[in-house]
Amino acid sequence: MPQETGASVKLNLEGLLCPIPVVRVSQAMKDLPVNGVLEATATDPGVLTDIPAWVKSTGNELLSMEKKDKVITFTIRKAK
Amino acid sequence: MSVGVTSLSLTDMKEKLKALIDRKQLASLEACVRCGICTESCHYYRSEPRLEHTPFYRAEQLRRIYRRLLDPIAGRFQRRGDSGTASAELLRRLADIAFSTCTLCQRCTLDCPFSVDTADIMRAARSLATATGSAPQMLVELADAAIVKGENIESFKDFYLDQVKELEKQVQDRLGSSRARIPVEKEGARMLYVPLSGAHTIVPQAVLFNLAEESWTLSLFETSNYAYFLADTSRASRIAQRIIAEAERLKVEEVVITECGHGYPVMRWEVARWLGRRLPFRVRSVIEVLDEYLQKGVFRVSPKGNGTPVTYHDSCNLGRKGGLFEEPRRIIRAVAEDYREMNPNRIYSFCCGAGSGLVAIPEWTDIRLRAGKLKAEQIRRTGARIVVTSCDNCRHQIGELNEHYGLDIEVTSLSELTVKALV
């Protein structure tokens, strides 16, 4: 379950394989208000390209994406 | 769930239907006599016997629209109270039936005395739903993201190449050789290997290609094509063309598709038909390549590497539609000690319950887990502890069936099973 933090949401997508991380992000973004921020952690390397592509195609904004050891952390702002 | 359709004038809907439905689909619509022989062929019905789960019921929903709009005789008689529009509710219902209660597995066609292809009829219904904006939004988003990735590959390439370097290190560690490589954009390589997004479709295969001293290069793109599930040939062609363009640019002899159910038919026969031209390279599944390596003794394996009982689930796309039945079985027999056949199998295998995009639609998780009951029972009867499948959708679904039905199994691929047997 997404953990809500004010106008933002945190998701743990570690261990999930594509396309499920994208699917979970899309679902969680629906419940966010405009300008709300989603922060997620994932381990599937596909996330490194799939999430930026999804963000671009849906018109949202990728604020950050970094990888430390095996964990990828990214934040997205809901633009519309 | 859907993109937000409101309603459509019947004239608009008629034009869309005319453009989307072909003669083969019309023949199937006309030939079905609703005898019901297909009923027991459907995994939905076998898992949960309800009228809505029969193939003939599903096809009937599109047939009614066809009769109303395109049938030269029935169309002359306007129904009492006909509003002249196809309501959003009607379109949504058609979309729900086409996307959530049929996985396009074609198992019913095998038993039909007229070979009615209900999957093809449902594909027409999916096309109509997509064209009218009532298809599942998640599939549309995934398809559009793949197109964006193709159009902006330079923006994403650095992330990808960094990741490939890390995966290459894993391959080197596994082989104990710093010379092992995962080449990318290598012009003149014999083979372009197209993975999925996950490392599990890159690392084991890279281990085997390095051992075989294969001339290969890893694709920048993934083989998954969610527009194929939308029955949207325009979008699906654009996604597939990313790989075709890459293969042509690198001048490879063949494109090898990872263990992916729908990715194989898309590249093996669908895209050439959509584009109306022959592809200038051969297309194979990686399981055909692995089978060839093992038959030629390119590397050594021992069945002792996999001592626990193993069974194989035939993916509908690779098996019933693609004819890849013996290759996976030869591989498993070479790398595992105790192979147990699941029944029914090969062409008569039942769908896992998650095919054709269902796995990507969270709202329908319960539906697909219920529809997977038949597969869960088959797996349990084998007594196997390892289930091998060559489709990532099936892999995901069987993994969830494992938890849902308490099967106590591990799900893996042929490539991973083979790597475990290396000596």
Q: How far is A54 from chain B (nearest CA, A)?
A: 5
Query: Choosing among A1, A13, A18, which should be mutated to test the B contact, i.e. which has the most B CBs within 10 A?
Result: A18
Element (DSSP H or E) covering residue B311: strand B310-313
Distance CA B53, CA B46 (A): 9
> What pTM did the predictor assign?
0.94
Q: Do B392 and A17 touch (CB under 8 A)?
A: yes
Write the DSSP symbol of residue B176. T
Give chain B positions within 8 Å (CB) of A24.
362
> For B145, which of A22, A27, A45 is closest by C-beta distance?
A22
Write B401-404 long-range contacts (CB < 8 A, 24+): B401/B352, B401/B353, B401/B369, B401/B372, B401/B375, B401/B376, B404/B369, B404/B372, B404/B376
| Number of Cα atoms under 13 Å in the Cβ half of residue B107 | 26
Q: How far is B404 from chain A (nearest CA, A)?
A: 17
The DSSP result for B118-162, as a single string, is HHHHHHHHHHHHHHTT-SBHHHHHHHHHHHHHHHTHHHHHHHHHH
Cβ-proximal residues to B65 (8 Å cutoff; 6+ apart), any chain: B13, B17, B86, B90, B94, B128
Lookup result for tokens 């405009």: A34
Q: Do B156 and A17 touch (CB under 8 A)?
A: no
Helices (H), B182-232: 203-211, 226-229
Helix, strand, coil share (%) of chain B residues, nearest 5: 55, 10, 35
List every span in chain B annotated with CATH 1.10.1060. 8-135
Nearest to B384 by CA among B371, B398, B373, B365: B398
Nearest to B94 by CA among B17, B162, B146, B19: B17
Q: Which two tokens stand for residue B239?
A: 């996604």
Predicted local distance difference test score (pLDDT) of residue B261: 96
- Beta partners for A12? A41
ipTM of the modeled complex: 0.91
Catalytic residues of A: 18
Give chain A positions within 8 Å (CB) of B160.
48-49
Predicted local distance difference test score (pLDDT) of residue B132: 87
Residues in chain A, how many? Answer: 80
Instruction: Give the residue from chain A lying closest to B152, CA to CA.
Output: A53
Distance CA B319, CA B330 (A): 14
Query: B-contacting residues of A 21-80, CB under 8 Å?
Result: 22-24, 26-27, 44-50, 52-54, 56-58, 65
Q: pLDDT, tens digit, for every residue of B205-248?
A: 999 999 999 999 999 999 999 999 999 999 999 999 999 999 99
Which class is domain B140-292? alpha beta
Return phi, psi of residue B97, to 5°.
-65, -45
| Residue A9 CB-density burial (10 A; 0-12 exposed, 13-18 middle, 19+ buried) | buried
3-class state of residue A71 by DSSP: strand
Give chain B positions within 8 Å (CB) of A20.
360, 396
Return phi, psi of residue B90, to 5°.
-65, -45
List every span in chain B annotated with CATH 3.40.50. 140-292, 300-420
Distance CA B109, CA B125 (A): 17
Distance CA A13, CA A17 (A): 9
| Residue B131 CB-density burial (10 A; 0-12 exposed, 13-18 middle, 19+ buried) | buried
3-class state of residue B10 by DSSP: helix
Cα B387 off chain centre by: 18
Architecture of domain B300-420: 3-Layer(aba) Sandwich (3.40)
- Beta partners for B247? none
* 8 Å CB contact between B162 and B191: no
pLDDT, mean of residues A14-39 = 93
What number of C-beta contacts closer than 8 Å exist between A and B?
A: 81
Distance CA B204, CA B182 (A): 11
> For A18, which of B156, B196, B361 is closest by C-beta distance?
B196
Fold for domain B8-135?
Fumarate Reductase Iron-sulfur Protein; Chain B, domain 2 (1.10.1060)
Q: Do A48 and B163 touch (CB under 8 A)?
A: yes
Superfamily of structural domain A3-77: TusA-like domain (3.30.110.40)
> For A49, which of B149, B224, B226 is closest by C-beta distance?
B149
Predicted local distance difference test score (pLDDT) of residue B11: 80
Say if A15 is an interface residue toward chain B (CB within 8 Å): no
**CA distance to A60, B147, B157, B221, B239, per residue, from B152 (Å):** 16, 9, 9, 12, 13
Q: Which two tokens stand for residue B189?
A: 């390589």
Q: Do A17 and B159 touch (CB under 8 A)?
A: no
Q: pLDDT tens digits, chain B, 423 residues: what are they?
A: 544 455 677 788 888 888 888 889 889 988 999 999 999 999 999 999 999 999 999 999 898 888 878 877 766 665 655 555 567 788 888 899 999 999 999 999 999 999 999 999 999 999 999 998 999 999 999 999 999 999 999 988 998 999 999 999 999 999 999 999 999 999 999 999 999 988 999 999 999 999 999 999 999 999 999 999 999 999 999 999 999 999 999 999 999 999 999 999 999 999 999 999 999 999 999 999 999 999 999 999 999 999 999 999 999 999 999 999 999 999 999 999 999 999 999 999 999 999 999 999 999 999 999 999 999 999 999 999 999 999 999 999 999 999 999 999 999 999 999 999 999
A30: pLDDT strictly greater than 80: yes
Q: Do A53 and B149 touch (CB under 8 A)?
A: yes
Instruction: Give the residue from chain B lying closest to A57, CA to CA.
Output: B145
